[in-house]
Amino acid sequence: MRVLVQRVRSAHVTSAPAPGEPGRETGRIAHGLVALVGVTDGDGPAEADWLADKLAGLRIFNDADGAMNHSVQEVGGAVLVVSQFTLYGDTRKGRRPSFVAAARPQAAEPLIDQLVERLGGHGIEVATGAFRTHMEVHLVNDGPVTLLLER
């Protein structure tokens, strides 16, 4: 699994059945993290749990001295989780990405659900996009702070 995580002041996601169709807001957070999550073949529950624990404890929020010493849990932030199969896009050949490394939706969706549940188990407010829809993510990146987590 891969997670592109961004520290944000606020974020929300709208989901639509297809591009150009009207969308509806499916998730909104104030300060916290946006987690774009990709799943690959071979990922399982252990990867989902590890990444949830890593996100919950990742110290990327500033303390009083401006040093990154606090986690999303410690600052009372929330996490917006958005499925992102394109994180496994391979662009080494040609001009069109290949997504063969991305897990099929039937395998990926339960793992993203598990990640969301595990984050909630840490006492963190979690919002989500809608799986298998066209999503628009709106965010105000704070810093900017953007990291790639992988297990």
Indicate which residue of 14, 26, 40, 84 is catalytic. 84
Span 107-119, pLDDT tens digits: 999 999 999 999 9
- pTM for the full model? 0.95
Residues 78-85: what's their mean pLDDT?
Answer: 97
The confidence score (pLDDT) of residue 150 equals 95
**Angle at alpha carbon of residue 130, lines to 115 and 9, rounded to 5°:** 70
**Residue 99 bears catalytic tag:** no
Q: Is 85 a catalytic residue?
A: yes
What is the pLDDT, as a whole number, of residue 144? 95
Specify whether the CB–CB gap between 79 and 33 falls below 8 A. Answer: yes
pLDDT(84) > 90: yes
Q: pLDDT value at position 124?
A: 98
Residue 21 domain boundaries: 2-150
Based on C-alpha coordinates, what's the Rg of the chain?
15
Q: Write the CATH number for 22.
A: 3.50.80.10
125-128 and 78-83 strand pairing: parallel
Number of domains in the chain: 1
Average pLDDT over residues 35-60: 98
Of the pLDDT bands very low, low, confident and very high (cuts 50, 70, 90), residue 86 is very high
Residue 151 has a pLDDT of 87
pLDDT at 68 (0 to 100): 97
- 114 catalytically annotated: no
